[in-house]
Amino acid sequence: MTRIKIRLVLMLAAFLIVTFPSSHAGAGGYDPDFKPLDAQTLIDECFAKQQALLDTGVTGKMRKGMARIVGCLQDVIVELTPVLFEPDVRTPEDTREMLDTIRNSYGPFMWQLYNEFRGCPNFCGTFYHTFHLDEYALILDTIINRMVDQMNEAQLVR
């Protein structure tokens, strides 16, 4: 019986979210002419700039391309920060520091996971040398999507 009640509440909440305009649209209220930002476009632009390096099949060049993509994705997040946050809450500099902290802790672990684990006693080859960057790019992708979702919900313009 409890599961049925939970499902009913979730369905009602989903209905309300879908059918009613944003409750926290920008300071001016709901704007029917608002053009939402597309997160995937921002992400794709970062990849497109480095596609030639990724397509070489040369590990060093592919790694350089992925590192540049990661830098571009971080820049997107930093650029969106002042749209979403008041300066006393979060600044672009705060965001850059946060991203550096995430990268510096997550990246080395993922590198070890793909290149220095017990199943790879001496050298696993270069195939995995970009995977730690791919993993971090996925985190940045998620952050960008969430930021853009919030911007669109509140009708905040870049």
What is the per-residue pLDDT across 98-142, written as a single tens digit (0 to 9) for each? Answer: 999 999 999 999 999 999 999 887 778 888 999 999 999 999 999
Q: How far is CA 74 from the centre of its chain?
A: 8
DSSP secondary structure letter of residue 34: -
User: What does pTM read for this prediction?
Assistant: 0.80
- Tokens 């730690």 correspond to 132
The answer to whether the beta carbons of residues 49 and 68 sit under 8 Å apart is yes
Question: How far is C-alpha 137 from the chain's CA centre?
Answer: 7
Q: Residue 9: pLDDT above 70?
A: no
